Amino acid sequence: MASKAPVLYKAGCSLNVSPCPAASRVALNPVNNQLLGINSAQLVGTRVPGTGDALNGLFAAGQGIDDRLYKTPTLKFSPRTGVAWDLRGNQTMVVRGGVGVFYDRTNISSMYDSVKNPPFSQQTTMRYGLLKDLSASLAPSPASGLWAIQYDYPMPISTQWNAGAQMTVPLSMVLDVAYTGQHSENGSQTVNINSIDLGTAYLPQYQNPIAVVAANPTDPNTSYASTNPDVIRFYQGYGAISMRQPILHRTYHSIQRAVFDAHNNDFIVVMPGIYTEPHSRQQRTRGARGPAGAP
């Protein structure tokens, strides 16, 4: 929830100039607009103690959410059928066809990454600081990265179909021509739903105030997107959020041709003619709506 999001330290300058010399760069507490002391620049983009909920939006399995971490159907109807027809009644020309619907389960190995989530573990990044400068007095609380899975997760589905014909040709040969196709939906894809939108670094409202040069207020190198991206992420208090989403679909078409000996079933020649049409689709997700404060 936005109301429970923690406040993050922003960039400040003890000399109140821009661009600010590196030695004078410090963290600014937006709650009281106070500048912190020396070596505090490493706190920019980290959580201000006592603000918001460090576990905002997180639920343990079975505690307010499904005990499997996500909801997916238990049973699905999967019809399949096929036909074969001897057109002339003497097996000199036979046509065949079939269609079926197949379901799959979400790859369970993708669930193992959830052990990296807080409060059990944290993936954090500190910027612009040295290990020797970390101290209990600064008590840094960096934005944590997350692993997630879309809560309402439809089962991956594949619809497969085929049609073909076999006919006798001279020299006791058989010509086999077939078409096969497949279309799948709800394929799994990992998406960072807390990434910074392309182009954000060129917007003046997201410039780092202590790094921007007045003559070039849209320099991407001085933007928060380049210097402290956690400050302007959509989900404040978190770094990258890698979410498994069922957003991929694939389509496949194939024409297969072959000639073989009708007596001993040996292939004489294979005439490949395969056309494939793969696609991947990503639907815009809630949380990929740009930086914090963006519409």
Write the pLDDT tens digit of every residue in 31-90.
999 998 888 888 888 889 889 888 888 888 888 888 888 888 888 999 999 999 999 888
Query: Checking DSSP bridges between strand 144-149 and strand 238-261, what pairing results, if any?
Result: parallel
pTM, rounded to two decimals: 0.77
Q: How far apart are CA 202 and CA 256, in angstroms?
A: 51
Evaluate whether residue 26 is within a structural domain. no
Whole-angstrom distance, CA of residue 61 vs CA of residue 100: 35
In the chain, the number of structural domains is 1
Lookup: tokens for 72: 């997916």
pLDDT by residue (tens digit) across 225-278?
A: 988 899 999 999 898 999 999 998 888 888 888 887 766 655 555 555 555 555
Range of the domain at 196: 56-277
Task: Report yes or no on 13 lying in a domain.
Answer: no
The reply to whether 212 falls in a domain is: yes
